[in-house]
Chain A
Amino acid sequence: MGDLFLPSVATILSQKEDTPDTRSYRLRFRDPDEHDAFSFRPGQFLELSVFGVGEAPFCLASSPTRKDAIEVTVKRTGKVTDALFALGPGDEVGLRGPCGNGFDVDAAAGSDLLFVAGGIGLPPLRGLIWNVLDERERFGDVTILYGARTPTDLVYKEELKQWEEEDGVTLHVTVDRAETGWSGNVGMVPTLFNLVELQSASTLAYVCGPPIMIKFVVQDLLMRGFAEERVISTLERMMQCGVGKCNHCSIGHLLVCRDGPVFNYRQIRGMVE
């Protein structure tokens, strides 16, 4: 039995600027055997540390079907992310995980899938999206609805184009405020529902984004006949240990880091806090 709090050392392979304050890192465990043995579910997260500065939780943004690197997408927001932005290829970080429950990919097999994301809410869904696209025959139609405040704030701009070109994928992107050169949709994420036909009985909806977006998107989905169990989201709380001991991320008697972060809407509605 390993020590719960002992991180492994990983090396940054490369980094990519997604937006002015958001960056994606590709990582590999320093020990090749450990890298090969690392397995996870989309929707799980890692405790990533900048040594000497601290640890913070980040969702795994890559798919378990692509094992060459582990990817995280990080918005520069606090002490650890500030320090992480000072690092680059070749530098080392600490990793613990995977933590949390993740998405039940097998349970989604055979269903049509709807992904609804706002802003930095796309990274937690990205791993699942690639997992689905890499095992395309296991799943039905895929619809991706994504929005951000401005075109600059959209993450994975190149991948959005790739996804759009895949067979059986419908993708719509919107921004709250257009910028020069933007010819796409303008409006909040729920306005994209008017552009798609959804079969609520056969579709699983994955929703991730700011709380206010989740609230309106879930309302919309329920109105369109989605059962509460078929609306799935990932919750955020201030997490510290990631292993269900420190109690920072409690909601009622549940711990986001152990019982979640993935919950369906029926579970979320029953939460006491």
Chain B
Amino acid sequence: MEHQAAQTIARVDLNQWLERLMEGSEVIAPTAGPGGDEIFTTLSSPDQLLWDFENPLHPPKHFMLPQTERLVSIRHENGHHQVTPVPDVVPRILFNLRSCDVKGMNFLHKMHASDLPDSAYLRRADKTTLVSLACVTPCPLGFCICCDAGPFLREGFDLQLTDLGERMLVEVGSEKGQALIQIADPLFQPATKEEYRQRLGLEEEARLGFEKETCHFGSAMRRISTGRVADDLWEAMGDWCQECGGCNFICPTCYCFSIQDLPEDEGWTRCRIWDSCQYPAFTLEASGHNPRERKGQRIWRRFFHKVSAQYYQRDGDVGCVGCGRCIKVCMGTTDMPAVVAAIRKGEWHG
């Protein structure tokens, strides 16, 4: 991004900008929830939006992939079934996403656009604008720097904001992003060279702020891709997994699901519902046969999908954005950095 293309807006004008954005779209951003936890919610007032925050425990993926997504309405009338797609085209702006979450959204987009395009997902993505807030300090558990997912982004965002203090620098990543600036054009002015230099300095500082020991995907990838991880190691980690599915549900790149017909009004709705590869029934066949009966096999599955070269080659990225949420949520400590370290070292801490 050239500095000429970047804009700035005064801090005092931000609420005015947000008000203009809220006129035409749902604006969703991190806010302080009822108990004080950071949480993504639809703003009813710009004052709710947090500028100083770490990152909500739940990533914003449920705005693209709701936990229960209504896909098809099924009605039974006069002896016949009528099936119709359920429309969902609310224009949305996801505001103040952290870099890792933007990268997560990019990953999900790629998964749903590739091979057979998932039009339900793509329609929603088309109406969604991603505004990120670059991270000027690494968050305590984050390791985005290992996955090319932060602290600042070069691409993937529609707008990227950098907090310069009195002013906010705004980089434009797409036409959708440009449109958000045009809505309140008079509030913006081109960034000066000095302001852009300040942004580069903040990025450098943030990059240097990560601790030395982070998450080394390279050697873990070599081992897992060539089957050089002992079965015993997977079993040892499996013993620690509580099969809660939490790692999947808070992961910005996890998207596995099941399809179910749920009763509704005079018929049913066919829904896409989050599922977890850590649940024993994920691969249970009607015959009773289960190819991944043991927890160790399911842990292998999760990390093979996220870290193997086979998937890296297909998807172009590791299935991790370094947000560190699995570290927070996993009761069994089988989180990404711990498992990657175990694969590298060939031993589990348990």
Is B167 an interface residue, CB under 8 A from the partner? no
Is A81 an interface residue, CB under 8 A from the partner? yes
Q: A52-B268, A94-B83, A248-B258 are in contact. Are A2 and B112 (CB under 8 A)?
A: no
From residue 271 to 298 of chain B, which have CB atoms closer than 8 A to chain A?
A: 272, 275, 277, 282-287, 291
Judge whether B261 and A3 touch: CB under 8 Å: no
Is B182 an interface residue, CB under 8 A from the partner? no
Judge whether B267 and A52 touch: CB under 8 Å: yes
Judge whether B116 and A246 touch: CB under 8 Å: no
Is A37 an interface residue, CB under 8 A from the partner? no
Is A78 an interface residue, CB under 8 A from the partner? yes
User: Which residues of chain A are within 8 angstroms of B258 by Cβ–Cβ distance?
Assistant: 240, 246, 248
CB distance from B242 to the nearest CB of A (A): 21
User: Which residues of chain B are within 8 angstroms of A243 by Cβ–Cβ distance?
Assistant: 116, 118
Judge whether A247 and B287 touch: CB under 8 Å: no
Judge whether B111 and A7 touch: CB under 8 Å: no
Judge whether B119 and A9 touch: CB under 8 Å: no
Judge whether B259 and A5 touch: CB under 8 Å: yes
CB distance from A135 to the nearest CB of B (A): 29
At the interface with chain B, which of A109-117, A172-180, A250-258? Answer: A250-258
Central interface residue in A2, A5, A241, A273, by most chain B CB within 10 Å: A5
User: Which residues of chain B are within 8 angstroms of A236 by Cβ–Cβ distance?
Assistant: 285
Q: How far is the CA of A240 from the CA of B261 in the complex (A)?
A: 13
Q: A6-B72, A250-B301 are in contact. Are A245 and B81 (CB under 8 A)?
A: no
Is B263 an interface residue, CB under 8 A from the partner? yes
CB-based nearest B residue for A53? B261
From residue 42 to 61 of chain A, which have CB atoms closer than 8 A to chain B?
A: 49, 51-56
Judge whether B261 and A52 touch: CB under 8 Å: yes
User: Which residues of chain B are within 8 angstroms of A252 by Cβ–Cβ distance?
Assistant: 304, 310
CB-based nearest A residue for B288? A77
Q: A52-B267, A246-B275, A248-B283 are in contact. Are A3 and B119 (CB under 8 A)?
A: yes
User: Which residues of chain A are within 8 angstroms of B72 by Cβ–Cβ distance?
Assistant: 3, 5-7
Is A196 an interface residue, CB under 8 A from the partner? no
User: Which residues of chain B are within 8 angstroms of A237 by Cβ–Cβ distance?
Assistant: 283, 285, 291
CB-based nearest A residue for B83? A7
CB distance from A263 to the nearest CB of B (A): 15
- Chain B's interface: helix, strand, loop or mixed, by majority? mixed
CB distance from A27 to the nearest CB of B (A): 14
Query: How many residues in A have their beta carbons less than 8 Å from beta carbons of B?
Result: 40
Is B120 an interface residue, CB under 8 A from the partner? yes
Judge whether B261 and A49 touch: CB under 8 Å: yes
Is A105 an interface residue, CB under 8 A from the partner? no
Judge whether A258 and B115 touch: CB under 8 Å: yes
User: Which residues of chain A are within 8 angstroms of B287 by Cβ–Cβ distance?
Assistant: 77
Q: Which residue of A3, A49, A52, A253 contacts B311 across the interface (Cβ within 8 Å)?
A: A253
Q: How far is the CA of A193 from the CA of B314 in the complex (A)?
A: 41
Judge whether A9 and B310 touch: CB under 8 Å: no
Q: A5-B270, A252-B304, A258-B115 are in contact. Are A240 and B83 (CB under 8 A)?
A: no
Is A272 an interface residue, CB under 8 A from the partner? yes
Is A201 an interface residue, CB under 8 A from the partner? no
User: Which residues of chain B are within 8 angstroms of A248 by Cβ–Cβ distance?
Assistant: 256, 258, 275, 282-283
User: Which residues of chain B are within 8 angstroms of A55 by Cβ–Cβ distance?
Assistant: 259, 270
User: Which residues of chain A are within 8 angstroms of B311 by Cβ–Cβ distance?
Assistant: 253
25 contacts between A and B (CB under 8 A): A4-B117, A5-B71, A6-B83, A9-B81, A49-B261, A51-B74, A51-B267, A52-B267, A55-B270, A92-B80, A92-B81, A237-B283, A238-B285, A240-B259, A243-B118, A246-B257, A247-B255, A247-B256, A247-B277, A248-B256, A248-B282, A252-B304, A258-B115, A272-B304, A273-B291
Per CB-CB distance, the 7 closest pairs between chain A and chain B, nearest first, are A78-B286, A253-B310, A77-B286, A247-B256, A52-B268, A5-B71, A3-B85
Instruction: Report B's interface with A, CB cutoff 8 A.
Output: 71-72, 74, 76, 80-81, 83, 85, 111-112, 115-120, 227, 255-261, 263, 267-268, 270, 272, 275, 277, 282-287, 291, 301, 304-305, 308, 310-311, 314
Instruction: Report A's interface with B, CB cutoff 8 A.
Output: 1-9, 30, 49, 51-56, 77-78, 81, 92, 94, 236-238, 240-241, 243-248, 250-253, 258, 272-273
